[in-house]
């Protein structure tokens, strides 16, 4: 799936659809697209005329989040890697069409780009500090729903494949060898209740071993830390079900962080 999505040109997403046969299009109303034009004026000064300003319209800053990130489609586990890996996405949302790519985000209300997202680009795996971005991806993915909880590994495998190429690192059941001491300190968020699957899925030290939203520590803190690690056995195939992993680990910096 990694190669399919990564090598696609543009992915069309029925973002507003709440079920498989909902289609792309929705009935829309003209008042959803009214743009408030403004002309800033000087106040209590001797100057006259409009204020030089790039502001020429008002848009709802939460528009992308409300229509895209909060949509039913974005909460589906199997859709997650599709949105992350594809270079361009055309979202057919509830009130308008949104375009999302590496250079920015646009919509019908703001064809020049949403003001606060104009230069941000997509949250793809190549535009950000990769190790920190991994934490963000895990946090978002583990909040998604899966019909079959046994798909927790495979529905994320495309992103793991891509990261393995970019990081040149070893994937260990949801964690990375080079950041293992930090990522072992993952926690379950307060919003969800962690549940263990009835059938064995992964070792208990991996976040993939439980069902629930997970938060990984930021790797930015791991700049001047020296630690010893010795992984004696691991699974190399990122798509395989992990059977066993034995570790010998010294984490010298933990006491300084949590005391």
pLDDT of residue 51: 53
Nearest-CA neighbor of 149 among 97, 199, 188, 104?
Answer: 199
Nearest-CA neighbor of 86 among 186, 172, 159?
Answer: 159
Over residues 145-185, the pLDDT tens digits come to 888 888 888 888 888 888 888 888 888 888 888 888 888 88
Q: Order the strands of the 97-101 sheet from edge to edge.
A: 11-13, 88-92, 97-101, 104-107
pLDDT of residue 42: 60
- Beta strands 175-176 and 171-172 are antiparallel
The two structure tokens encoding residue 125: 């795996």
Over residues 184-216, the pLDDT tens digits come to 889 888 776 777 878 888 888 899 888 888 888
Burial of 45 (0-12, 13-18, 19+ CB in 10 A): exposed
């Amino acid at each position: 799936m990694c190669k399919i999505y990564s090598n696609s040109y543009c992915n069309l997403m029925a973002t507003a659809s709440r079920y498989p046969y909902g289609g792309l299009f929705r009935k829309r109303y003209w008042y959803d697209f009214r743009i408030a034009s403004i002309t800033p004026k000087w106040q209590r000064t001797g100057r006259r005329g409009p204020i030089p300003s790039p502001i020429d319209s008002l848009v709802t800053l939460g528009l992308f989040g409300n229509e895209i990130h909060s949509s039913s489609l974005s909460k589906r586990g199997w859709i997650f890697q599709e949105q992350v890996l594809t270079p361009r996405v055309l979202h057919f949302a509830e009130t308008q069409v949104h375009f999302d790519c590496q250079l920015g985000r646009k919509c019908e209300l703001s064809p020049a780009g949403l003001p606060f997202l104009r230069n941000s680009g997509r949250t793809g795996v190549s535009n950000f500090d990769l190790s920190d971005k991994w934490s963000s991806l895990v946090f978002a993915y583990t909040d998604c729903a899966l019909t079959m909880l046994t798909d927790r590994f495979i529905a994320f495998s495309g992103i793991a494949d891509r990261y393995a190429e970019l990081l040149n690192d070893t994937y260990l059941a949801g964690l990375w060898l080079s950041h293992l001491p930090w990522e072992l300190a993952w926690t379950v968020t307060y919003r969800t209740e962690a549940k263990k699957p009835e059938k064995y899925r992964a070792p208990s030290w991996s976040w993939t071993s439980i069902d629930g939203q997970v938060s990984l520590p930021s790797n930015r803190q791991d700049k001047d830390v020296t630690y010893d690690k010795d992984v004696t056995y691991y699974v190399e195939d990122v798509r395989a079900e992990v059977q066993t992993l034995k570790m010998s680990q010294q984490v010298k910096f933990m006491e300084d962080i949590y005391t």
